[in-house]
Chain A
Amino acid sequence: MQIVFLLEQVVNGLVLGGYYLLIALGLSLIFSVGGIVNLAHGAFYALGAYVFVQLSAPLGFTAAVAVSPIAVALLGILFERFILRRFYNEDPILSLLVTFGLALVAEQAIRMIWGAAPLPATLPQEIRGSVIVGNMLFSKYRLLMLLVIAVALAGIWLLLNRTSFGRVVRAGIQDPDMVAALGIRLQPYMTAVVMLGVGLAALGGAMFAPITTVHPAMGSEILTIAFVVVIIGGLGSFWGVVLAAVLVGVTRGVTIYFAPAASEASMYVLMFLVLLLRPRGLLGESIAKFES
């Protein structure tokens, strides 16, 4: 029986990892393509949750989950067009400061529009409760979330690896000058990637809104975890982020089983160990400055 409970925590951790992945993948994509460390990423997660709550009354649960990431992704176009675009070729510290400022502005804007008090959001009755497989208990809703995440992940992988769009984006990451020399304008691709990343964060927010507190500072809560995942996985690596998200989720589940008090610290310890042994992250590309 004990081993069942441990296994249950591991699987639950996998689901949680999938959720971290949604946020971290967008962060990683925007960094890879534009070289921007987007500290405003958490704000888009929060916006996803707020737009979901706003829309779920008139549209119903399913439609609201589907529409809110799209609505926030459209906002991402403005974000790219008017802010990020100016900083692709600048010192990264500038974009770091600008996006940090933007995160503060966004949090305050949420406070002004929706108020400081958390918004109530609930799951529809049909997808509440749990299913028992063997002796293991799963939340129905989290299994559903896992499905959505898997589909989103597969879609992005196909988009990046099996389409001409993906080829240009990957080439842009490797060698933007060569892409330009071939006469391809990278600009529209950048916009699309930012939209995609922001939309993923918003999808995470929308899906988590019914089971977490929807409050103005929720973006900064998730951002730390997303960064830890990206750092462990390695900057610029799709599979690295996937691996790291799963690893962080499972590590949390297992530490909560054995040493609950250490559960929050566990992911930082994991990050520390990975950076110690492999400064570029698990599957990250080599960064000459850090590895001689």
Chain B
Amino acid sequence: MTNYQTSRLAGPKSVLTRRTALMLAGGTFAASTLGAPALVRAQSGPIRIGHLTPMTGFLGTLGGWAVEGAQLAAKEINAAGGAAGRQIELMSEDSINPENGATKAQRMLERDGVDFLLGEISSATALAISEVAARNEKLFVAVGPRSDVLRGERCSRYMFCTDIPNTAMVNAVGTALKQDGMVEGKKFFTLTADYVFGHDLLAAAKSFFAANNAELIGDELIATDVTDFSPFILKVRQANPDVVCLNLAGNQVTNFVKQYAEFGLPYPMVGFNLNTADAWAAGVGNLSGTWPTVWLDSVETPESQAFVERFKAEYGKIPENHAWISYIAVQIAAKAISETGSAATPELIDYLESGAKFDIMKARQAYFRPEDHQLIQEAYAFTVKEPGSYDDVQTMLQLDGAVPAPDAPLDSIYPSVEGGSCKL
């Protein structure tokens, strides 16, 4: 059941042991500071990245997109000569659950000799991998998990988070909802995924409701393997809310919206988490409401549109937001390696913390906040078009403007680092 892929364009396998590779890297670093940059290019052997992402289970569909995005980035980087002159070898494996993810991370570092770790969608698994990375003093680029906790009390010097956190998701949708008068004085009923991500998202939602005079009249925690939501839909009707609000994850969202459309309850639906793949899977006429996203294929920058075209040429389909976030995460790692001339963790951390700007195909450039290692970037809200006004799931999502507004500081939708719980 293990998926094991390496980038097809990766160079020949290194015959060096990890120790000699480290010594070489150290030597090269010393040499390059002495003014012999040619030696950097002379260094042989690929940069090995341990890529973990769920390919099975309730987040499995999202992981499929993550692998495609990451592998495309590696392929393009290698075709352009690699990072710091070295080819990138991306080893993608299925992280089934936190225990499995941690075990594989440990093995990748010890036996496979990867330079650093990258990936993950599940917040629970990302926390487990983060501990392994910290213990081994290796960089972990947490690509897709969204729990605030990863940028808060469980943050780590070795972990950098590229996706937007739950608070930013709530703020992105909340801004849109407030404009439609759907928050103030309204009764909300929430359904929440019962693991660290959902709990965290619910906490963010609760503080948003409290700050905006909305009332939470019911909340249901739902196990991640639930596929039939009819009993919960009956409970929603019993509660008679103004708005039904989803804090669900992965296949849960698709299952819920399909069954909600089946029952045809009158309460409008919104949500604080939705991935494009789950929206597409819901099919025509089932999804409604306003949702947050980190990126959508209709983001109108030339870079985004060029990426969509390259992705379509490679895989014959439009990229999903997890394909995009994995793509830019590998690009960011490659840029860090090129700029520092090294794949060694201390150098990479220093560079990522330096406030370096990254072009992530959005109107504004992104940077890592040194206080909590969160990639500060624009987010978006989107609305599902009226039934009948589209005939293909891939054209049913209407992208609203970027948040925060162009005149607001980029980090205004993120949790504050002052008085925050992240101590690096």
Given A5-B234, A120-B280, A211-B259, are A260 and B227 also a contact pair (CB < 8 Å)? no
- The reply on B98 being an interface residue by CB < 8 A is no
> Which residues of chain A (123-158) have a CB below 8 Å from chain B?
123, 125, 128-130, 137, 139, 141-142
Q: How far is the CB of B251 from chain A (nearest CB, A)?
A: 5
User: How many positions in chain B have a CB within 8 Å of any CB in the partner chain?
Assistant: 46
> Known contacts A117-B281, A118-B251, A210-B258: does B56 contact A263 (CB below 8 Å)?
no
**Segment 197-231 of A: residues with Cβ below 8 Å from B:** 210-215, 217, 221
Decide: B281 and A12 in contact? CB cutoff 8 A. no
Fill in one digit per residue for A78-118: 1 if any B CB lies within 8 Å of its CB, else 0.
00000000000000000000000000100000000001111
Q: Judge if A252 is at the interface, Cβ distance under 8 Å.
A: yes
Say yes or no: is A71 at the interface (Cβ < 8 Å to chain B). no
| CB of B230 closer than 8 Å to a CB of A | yes
> Nearest Cβ distance between residue B56 and chain A, in whole angstroms?
6
With contact pairs A211-B258, A212-B258, A217-B60 given, residues A13 and B284 touching in the complex (Cβ less than 8 Å): no
Which residues does chain B contribute within 8 Å of A115, judged by CB atoms? 317
Closest beta carbon of chain A to B61's beta carbon, Å? 6
Contact A121 B283 (CB under 8 A): yes
B contact face: mostly helix, strand, loop, or mixed: helix
CB distance from B283 to the nearest CB of A (A): 3
CB-defined contacts of B57 to chain A, threshold 8 Å? 217
Question: Is B222 close to A, CB under 8 A?
Answer: yes
Q: What total count of A-B pairs have CB within 8 Å?
A: 117
Asked if A171 CB lies within 8 Å of chain B CBs, one says no
> A105: shortest Cβ distance to chain B, in Å?
12
B234 and A221 form a contact (CB under 8 A)? no
* Given known A-B contacts A116-B60, A117-B61, A210-B258, A137 and B194 have beta carbons under 8 A apart: no
Since A213-B281, A217-B60 are in contact, a sample of 20 more A-B pairs with Cβ atoms closer than 8 Å, ordered by chain A residue number, is A9-B231, A9-B234, A16-B228, A117-B64, A118-B251, A118-B281, A120-B393, A122-B258, A122-B261, A129-B263, A139-B230, A213-B227, A213-B254, A213-B258, A214-B281, A215-B251, A221-B227, A260-B221, A261-B221, A264-B226
Interface residues of B (CB under 8 A from A): 1, 55-57, 60-61, 64-65, 194, 220-223, 225-228, 230-232, 234-235, 237-238, 251, 254-255, 258-259, 261-265, 277-278, 280-286, 317, 320, 393
Question: Which are the 4 A-B pairs with shortest beta-carbon distances?
Answer: A120-B283, A118-B281, A116-B64, A129-B264
